[in-house]
A = this chain, B = another copy of it.
Amino acid sequence: MSTSNALDGLTQALRKLPGVGAKSAARMAFHLLQHDKPGALQIARALEHAVQSIRHCALCNTLSEQELCVTCASHERDHSKLCVVETPADQAALERTLAYRGLYFVLMGKLSPLDGIGPNDIGLQKLFDRVVPRDEDGQPVPAASREVQEVILATNFTAEGEATAHVIGQALKSRGVQVTRLARGVPVGSELEYVDLGTIAHALTDRR
């Protein structure tokens, strides 16, 4: 089709972007090479820098450049509250509301039995160990001595998100943890990332 292997290669590579098909990829490639070569190099360097420097926060799993992310490392956050979300994008949506000052745990996924994704695949044990640590004898620390006093389930209000919240909620309640869920102010069937800030803030306040 095209007269250049480098151009074909770039068009193919750009199709790796979510929501970008053959025509959009070609349009992007032509635009960058005709009108914005500095922009193309900026994207290339940002991609390489991000891939090299971004890893998962040791405590909450979110994307971070440090061993601990900014939120987990902050002394101004309320360490007694832990908000469980599916993805860093959902976490970012909650942060934008400015209505929550606790910590997060990012699942990096959700239970999805149809896709073969079970509790072990989304790090639920890591979450349980964090909320209910064990003492030197291997016994669960009593509720009053735990750092995390409340777990707020903020998985998406989709079928998989609800199932994930249900499984986590049941497991933590059986260990004597106070568990709340974002209020149903969030429209059922939608994804947190795309909900307006006011609705998310309302849902945080009305958590049950």
Contacts and interface: CB of A to CB of B under 8 A. Distances in A.
Contacts of A75: none
8 contacts: A1-B96, A3-B70, A6-B46, A9-B50, A13-B43, A13-B46, A37-B51, A44-B44
Contacts of A24: 19
Interface of A: 1-7, 9-10, 12-14, 16-19, 23-24, 26-34, 36-37, 39-51, 53-54, 62-65, 69-71, 87-89, 92, 95-96, 108, 193-194
Given A26-B92, A43-B17, A50 B7 contact: yes
Contacts of A95: 1
Contacts of A40: 16, 47, 50-51
Given A1-B95, A6-B65, 12 more contacts: A4-B70, A5-B65, A6-B54, A10-B50, A32-B51, A33-B54, A40-B50, A41-B47, A41-B48, A43-B43, A43-B47, A44-B48
Contacts of A7: 50, 54, 63
* Interface class of chain A by DSSP: helix
Contact of A47 (B31, B32, B50): B32
A108 B34 contact: yes
A39 B16 contact: yes
B16 A92 contact: no
B41 A4 contact: no
* Top 9 A-B residue pairs of the complex, sorted by shortest distance between their CB atoms: A16-B39, A13-B46, A44-B47, A44-B44, A10-B50, A10-B46, A6-B50, A13-B43, A3-B70
